C-alpha cells in the first residue's frame, strides 16, 4: 500500500500528499454518480408540482423510463453499500485484527479497541477539534484546529451516506416491491417508508449540495473544483489548511521536519 501510494508525491516540483487509493476513488465515483442520478430522477417526483419538475423528469426519460433509471441507480448504490461494508471489514481484519492474531493478543477488549481505532471512527480528538474550531471561528483563539488524516467534517461526510443508504435503500426497495412486501408486512409501513425515503433524500441532497460541496469545491481556495477526488493526492497548501496534524506527521516520517511550514498563512 505504502509503496503503491507514496505518502508524499512530487509533481512539477510541488509536494502532494496521499489521501485516497484508486479503489476508494472508484467507489466514490460510483457513489456520487448514483446519488446524482437518483436525485435527478427522484426530486422531480417529490416536487411533481413545480415548474422545473416536468421538463427535468421528461429529460430523464419520463414516467416510463425515469423510474427504472431511479431503481437501477438505487440498486447499484445498495450494491456499493454492501461492497464497501465488505471492503472496510477486509481492511479492518488485514490491518488491525490479523496483527493481533499473530501477536496472540486478540481478546474482546483488544478487538473493541482496534474497532474504535479505525481512522473513520469518531474519537476524542474530534471533540477537541470541534471545540478548538469554534474558539478559532469566534476569534477566541489564533490557532485553527489541526486535523488528523480524517477530520470530523470528513467523518460526518462519510457517515451521512453510510446511515442514509440503509434508510433510503430498504425503504425504496419496499416501495418498488410493494406487492411482494404486502405479503409479509402491513401496507401502512409503506406510508412510513415513503416519508423515510423522500425526506432523508432531501436532507442528503441539501447536505451534499451546500455543505459537502462547500467543503470540497466552493471554498475560496478550492473553487471551482477540488481535485483530490480524481487524483487521490492533496496539495501542500490544502494539506496545511485542512490536515495540519497529518501534514506534520507525513513530513516528519519522510525526514522533512525542517521544511514544515507554519499553519495559518493561507
Partner 1 sequence: MGVLPNKRLHHATQRQAEAFTAALAIFLVIFMLGGLIWTPSVQAEDELNCVLCHKFRGLSRIDENGRFRLFYINENLFMKGPHKRIMCMDCHRDIKKIPHDPAEKVSCTVECHLTEPSGKQKFSHAPVKKVLEASVHSKYDKEGNLKDYPEDYPSCKNCHEQPLYRPLSFFKGESAGISRRGLSRCKTCHQTGDFAEDFYSHVTSRLQKTRESKEIVEVCAKCHGDPAFQKRHNLDNVIESYKETFHGKAVSFGSNETADCLDCHVVYGESVHSVESHKEPTASTHKNNIAATCRNEECHFKAGEALASYQVHTDYDNAEKYPMQYYMLKFFKGLMAAVLYFFVVVIFLELLRRLFPNFSFIKEKPADAESVLRNNSTEKGA
Residues 212-231: x/- map of binding to partner 1 (CB under 8 A)?
--x----xx-----------
Please report whether residue 178 would count as binding partner 1 according to CB under 8 A: yes
- CA-based R_g, the chain, Å: 22
* In the complex, least distance from residue 214 CB atom to partner 1, rounded to whole angstroms: 5
Strands lying side by side in the sheet with 233-235: 8-11, 14-18, 233-235
* In the complex, least distance from residue 77 CB atom to partner 1, rounded to whole angstroms: 20
Please report whether residue 249 would count as binding partner 1 according to CB under 8 A: yes
Please report whether residue 27 would count as binding partner 1 according to CB under 8 A: no
- The CA distance from 24 to 163, in Å, is 18
Residue 231 exposure: Cα atoms within 13 Å on the Cβ side: 14
* In the complex, least distance from residue 22 CB atom to partner 1, rounded to whole angstroms: 25
Site for partner 1 in 44-63 (CB under 8 A): 44-45, 48-49, 54, 57, 62-63
Please report whether residue 244 would count as binding partner 1 according to CB under 8 A: yes
3-class state of residue 16 by DSSP:
strand
Name the one residue in this structure whose C-alpha cell is 405479503. 183
- The CA distance from 61 to 174, in Å, is 23
Site for partner 1 in 87-106 (CB under 8 A): 95-96, 99-100
Amino acid at each position: 500500500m505504502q509503496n503503491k501510494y507514496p505518502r508524499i508525491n512530487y509533481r512539477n516540483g510541488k509536494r502532494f500528499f496521499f489521501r485516497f487509493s484508486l479503489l476508494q476513488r472508484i467507489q466514490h465515483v460510483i457513489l456520487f454518480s448514483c446519488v446524482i442520478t437518483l436525485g435527478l430522477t427522484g426530486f422531480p417526483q417529490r416536487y411533481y408540482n413545480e415548474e422545473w419538475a416536468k421538463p427535468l423528469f421528461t429529460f430523464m426519460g419520463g414516467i416510463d423510463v425515469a423510474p427504472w433509471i431511479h431503481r437501477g441507480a438505487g440498486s447499484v448504490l445498495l450494491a456499493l453499500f454492501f461492497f464497501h461494508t465488505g471492503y472496510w471489514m477486509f481492511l479492518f481484519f488485514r490491518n488491525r485484527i490479523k496483527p493481533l492474531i499473530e501477536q496472540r493478543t486478540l481478546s474482546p477488549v483488544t478487538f473493541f479497541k482496534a474497532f474504535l481505532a479505525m481512522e473513520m471512527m469518531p474519537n476524542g480528538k474530534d471533540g477537541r477539534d470541534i471545540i478548538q474550531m469554534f474558539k478559532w471561528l469566534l476569534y477566541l483563539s489564533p490557532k485553527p484546529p489541526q486535523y488528523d488524516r480524517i477530520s470530523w467534517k470528513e467523518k460526518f461526510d462519510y457517515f451521512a451516506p453510510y446511515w442514509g443508504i440503509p434508510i433510503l435503500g430498504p425503504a425504496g426497495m419496499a416501495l418498488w416491491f410493494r406487492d411482494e412486501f404486502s405479503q409479509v408486512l402491513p401496507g401502512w409501513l409503506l406510508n412510513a417508508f415513503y416519508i423515510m425515503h423522500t425526506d432523508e433524500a432531501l436532507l442528503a441532497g441539501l447536505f451534499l449540495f451546500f455543505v459537502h460541496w462547500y467543503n470540497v469545491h466552493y471554498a475560496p481556495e478550492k473553487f471551482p473544483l477540488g481535485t483530490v477526488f480524481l487524483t487521490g493526492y492533496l496539495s501542500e497548501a490544502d494539506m496545511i489548511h485542512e490536515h495540519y496534524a497529518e501534514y506534520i506527521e507525513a513530513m516528519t516520517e519522510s525526514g522533512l521536519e525542517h521544511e514544515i511550514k507554519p499553519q495559518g498563512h493561507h
